[in-house]
């Protein structure tokens, strides 16, 4: 996208963690005028743009994007004592990509509306590597007028964006998405261990699988972790547990039975209890192998994650 299309509005960015940093990089590279806040300023400084001292310092920006760890953090950034709604200057639009509860999102939306600020819920699909490769996708809900204004900036963050509807409907869509993340990861662990214990090398099975109709961007970029047992976190087991808990809470509210999700949540809990809470949830394969009485080892094979090829 031409930078000329991103000069109409000034932009603020809050959160430069595993997801936020590459997202902000994409927006800056696309030509947007961006200022940044992060609790640890040093983590934001390599972006090469102005880093402000507190969230309220971004209140004079037209559009502010946020992506932080949890409900408490997003409340602090927006409605806290030094939050964006704390002063006389206010942004026109706040677009939040954090994975938070629908209740918290509704509270923040109400606080924004009371101050005349339009609030977009803009959850993102993909891990930091997918974001950096330009392969992430975003779902958006909130005022259509705000979406139309922010859309060129949102489009710079991934390969596709979808307007899902009013209110916080995109939050529910993201929770459903992350349910699939956990369920598919557990299923991949099960079938991979099944094949390996039956004599098939992991990289051979996953190469076969990822060239089949069942493959996806997700199964491709998880393949190297499963083959080489690399549990460097892109999304920790504790984060996945939070996602599943939020989804199951909504399922209870809506009286929707989700037995497979419930079981997956308990398997993730067991993974955390075994010491893998801060590891990537790909470590589910280790738990599955242990349950199968199989001593799984890294294969040390160079396996494509599919992202580089897709980005070229």
71/134 same-domain check:
yes
91/196 same-domain check:
no
Beta strands in 142-249 (DSSP E): 160-165
For the chain, what is the largest distance between any 2 Cα atoms, rounded to a whole number of angstroms? Answer: 67
**pLDDT tens, 8-18?**
999 999 999 99
Burial class (CB in 10 A: 0-12, 13-18, 19+), 300: exposed
Domain count, the chain: 2
Average pLDDT, the chain: 95
Positive or negative: CA dihedral 220, 221, 224, 226: negative
Q: Which residue carries 């932080």 as its tokens?
A: 68
197/230 same-domain check:
yes
Task: Examine the fold and report which residue of 134, 167, 200 is the final residue of a domain before the chain moves on.
Answer: 167
The pairing of strands 124-125 and 137-141 is: antiparallel
**CATH number of 243's domain:** 1.10.1040.10
146/202 same-domain check:
no
User: How many CB atoms neighbour CB 24 within 10 A?
Assistant: 26
Which range of residues forms the domain containing residue 298?
176-311
146/15 same-domain check:
yes
227/152 same-domain check:
no
**CATH number of 46's domain:** 3.40.50.720
**By 3-state DSSP, what share of the chain in percent is helix, strand and coil, each rounded to 5?**
55, 10, 35
161/188 same-domain check:
no
Task: Examine the fold and report which residue of 111, 136, 167 is the final residue of a domain before the chain moves on.
Answer: 167
151/202 same-domain check:
no
**pLDDT tens, 262-294?**
999 999 999 999 999 999 999 999 999 999 999
Task: Examine the fold and report which residue of 145, 167, 189 is the final residue of a domain before the chain moves on.
Answer: 167
56/155 same-domain check:
yes
Query: How would residue 5 be classed by pLDDT, with cut points 50, 70 and 90?
Result: confident
| 205-234 CB burial, b ≥16 within 10 A, e <16 | bbbebbeeeeeebbbbbbbbbbbbbebebb
pTM: 0.87
């Amino acid at each position: 996208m031409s930078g000329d299309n991103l000069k109409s509005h000034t932009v603020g960015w809050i959160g430069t963690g595993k997801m936020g940093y590459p997202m902000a990089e994409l927006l800056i590279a696309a030509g947007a005028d961006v200022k940044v806040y992060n609790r640890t300023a040093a983590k934001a400084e390599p972006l090469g743009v102005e880093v402000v001292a507190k969230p309220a310092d971004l209140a004079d920006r037209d559009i502010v994007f946020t992506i932080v760890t949890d409900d408490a953090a997003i409340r602090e950034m927006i409605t806290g004592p030094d939050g964006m709604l704390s002063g006389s200057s206010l942004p026109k639009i706040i677009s939040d990509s954090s994975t938070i509860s629908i209740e918290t999102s509704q509270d923040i939306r109400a606080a924004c509306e009371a101050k005349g600020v339009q609030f977009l819920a803009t959850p993102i699909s993909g891990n930091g590597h997918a974001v950096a490769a330009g392969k992430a996708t975003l779902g958006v809900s909130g005022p259509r007028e705000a979406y139309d204004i922010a859309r060129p900036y949102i489009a710079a963050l991934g390969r596709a964006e979808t307007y899902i509807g009013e209110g916080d409907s995109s939050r529910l869509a993201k929770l459903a998405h992350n349910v699939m993340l956990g369920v598919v990861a557990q299923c991949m662990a099960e079938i991979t261990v099944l094949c390996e214990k039956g004599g098939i090398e992991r990289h051979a099975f996953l190469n076969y699988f990822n060239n089949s109709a069942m493959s996806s961007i997700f199964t491709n970029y998880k393949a190297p972790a499963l083959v080489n047992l690399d549990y460097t976190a892109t999304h920790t087991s504790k984060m996945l547990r939070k996602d599943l808990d939020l989804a199951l809470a909504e399922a209870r509210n809506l009286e929707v039975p989700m037995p497979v999700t419930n079981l997956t949540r308990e398997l993730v809990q067991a993974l955390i209890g075994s010491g893998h809470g801060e590891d990537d949830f790909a470590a589910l394969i280790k738990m599955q192998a242990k349950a199968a009485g199989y001593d799984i080892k890294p294969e040390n094979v160079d396996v494509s994650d599919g992202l580089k090829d897709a980005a070229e």
